[in-house]
Amino acid sequence: MVTVRRWIPVVLLTPILLTAAHSASSPPVARQATDDAVLPSSSLPRPGFNAAARSAGKLYFGTATNNYQWNDTAYVAILDDLAMFGQLTPAKVMKWSYTEPERGVFTWEMGDQFVALAEQRGKLVRGHNCVWYNDLPAWVTNTTWTAPELAEVVQEHCFNIVRHWAGQMTRCAPVLTRICFSDSWDVINEPFNDDGTWRTTLWYNTLNTSYIPLALHAAHRADPHAKLYINEYNTTGPGPKASALKALVRALKAAGVPLHGVGVQAHEVVGQVPPLADVKRNLGEFAALGVEVAITELDVRFVGLPPDEEGLERQRRDFETVVRACREVEGCVGVTVWDWTDKYSWVPASFPGEGDACPFDVDLEPKPAYYGVLDGLQEETSSASRKYGAFQHIKLNHEVVRARYDAPAAQWRIRVRVHRPTDTHGNSASGALAEEEIDDVADVLVTVDGSVSRCWMPEIVGIGGFEGELHHSAKYVPKGKT
C-alpha cells in the first residue's frame, strides 16, 4: 500500500507554527489537541489581526494608543507585533491642545515620538486630528474671533501640522513590490449632531460650514499626497447622521474640495450594532461617492458591568459584524480599534459605569470579542481553529525552514526559524526582530506562510486512489516513502 505523508497548508495568519501530539490512529485535525505545542512561545502566541486583514485584502488592522502606555512592556510586546497591528492612531498627541498650545507656537515632541515609534516598527500612522470642537487650547476658545480671523487660524493650524509630518507616515512594502501607502489624516472630526444637523461649535458658529473646505484645502496644500478624511461617530449603519455625512461628501466632491475618505468611528454599544446587511450597504454607499472608507475607532461597550457570558458572546458577534462588513465592502480599506485592551480604554472615564469595550481584557488576555474580530476577517479559518482548539497551540513568529519525516520514530524532525524581540519594545536596534534557528520534533505539523507552506503533490503511482491520511509540503522529498 502506498503511504504518503504530506503537510496540510492552512491559510491562517502570518508566520506561525502549530504542532500537536496525536495517536497514530487518530486524524490530526479532526479532534481537539490535548498536548501543548512543542515549540517555545513567541512574544505573542496568538493569531494577529493585521496579518488576517492583509490576507483578506485590506491595507491594515490598527489601534489607537497613547505615548504614556509605552512604559507598559507587556502592552508594548503586543502593540509592536506587526502580525497584530499594522497601523497606529495617536489618541491624543496630535490634537490641537498638544500641537499648538499657544498661537504660532508648535510643540512637536510627543507627536514626533509617536511617529518615530511607528516608523521603527514599520507601521502606518493615521494623523488625528486637525479640526475638532474638543481638546482646544484656551487661546482658541477664550478669544472672540471675526470670521476672517478664525478662518486664518484654521488654515494655519491644519497646514502646519500636516506639513510637519508630511511623508513621515508613509510606509512601503518590500522594494520589489514598490507599493507604498500614503499618510491619512482625520482633518475634520465630528461635525454633526446625531440627528444630522450641524454641531454648533466655535467653528460652525463663526464660519458656518466654510471651515470644512478651508481646512481640507490647507491640509492638501501641506501634503498633496495625504489621504484626507472626515471622521464621524454614529455612522456605522443608515441613519440621519450617515445621510448628512453622505450629503456633505457629495457637495465637497462636486465643488472640487480635496476629500479622499470617510472615517466611520464605530463606537458601539453591545446589542445595538446594526445588522450586517445594513452596515455593508451603508459603507458601500460611502464608497460609491468616490472616497475610501475606514473603520477608525472601533469599540463595543457594555452599559452595565460586569458582563455575563451571554453578553460577551453578543459583543463577539457585534465586533464580527463591523469587521466583516469592512472585509466584504471593497472600498473599506482597514479597521482601527480605539485601543485593544480594556486596561487603557477611554470608555469608563467618559461613560461612568460602562466599559469592557475592547477585544482584550485588563490583563491583556483575549475575550470572545478577539475571536469575533478574527471571524470577521477570516471566518472559516478562525471558526475552525476555535472549534478544534487550535488557537492554544499556535505560535507566532515561527517559520518552518526544513523538515524531514522520521518513519521509524513516526515523527517530523523540523528546523524552525524563530523571530525574537531583542529589547523591551520587542525589536532590535534596527527595528527588526532578531532571528535564531532551533531543531525540534512534532507528531503533527501544520505550517503556513513559510518556505514549506505551498502545496506540492509528488508524482507517485497510485496516489489518486489512496484513501489514507495525506500531508504535503513544497519541500517534501518522497524518497523512501513508497
Tell me how far apart the alpha carbons of residues 173 and 181 are, in angstroms, rounded to a whole number: 8
Grid cell listed for 67: 505615548
Tell me how far apart the alpha carbons of residues 344 and 354 are, in angstroms, rounded to a whole number: 14
Tell me how far apart the alpha carbons of residues 385 and 475 are, in angstroms, rounded to a whole number: 25
Among 100, 112, 114, smallest CA distance to 68 is for 114
Which member of 190, 232, 292, 297 is catalytic? 297
Which strands sit side by side in the sheet containing 444-448, from one edge to the other? Answer: 394-396, 16-20, 444-448
Tell me how far apart the alpha carbons of residues 206 and 39 are, in angstroms, rounded to a whole number: 63
306-315, Cβ contacts within 8 angstroms, sequence gap of 24 or more: 306/356, 307/270, 307/356, 311/270, 312/367, 312/368, 312/369, 313/368, 314/270, 314/271, 315/270, 315/356, 315/367, 315/368, 315/369, 315/372
Active-site residue flag, 102: no
- Residue pair 454/11 in contact by the 8 Å Cβ criterion: no
Tell me how far apart the alpha carbons of residues 477 and 482 are, in angstroms, rounded to a whole number: 11
Tell me how far apart the alpha carbons of residues 157 and 160 are, in angstroms, rounded to a whole number: 5
Grid cell listed for 381: 479559518
Q: Is 216 left (phi over 0), alpha (psi -120 to 50) or beta?
A: alpha
Tell me how far apart the alpha carbons of residues 66 and 235 are, in angstroms, rounded to a whole number: 25
Provide the residue type at 252 as one letter: L
Tell me how far apart the alpha carbons of residues 190 and 47 are, in angstroms, rounded to a whole number: 33
Grid cell listed for 459: 508524482
What is the b/e burial string over 182-197, where b = at least 16 CB atoms within 10 angstroms of the residue's CB?
bbbbbbbbbbbeeeee
Residue positions annotated with a catalytic role: 297
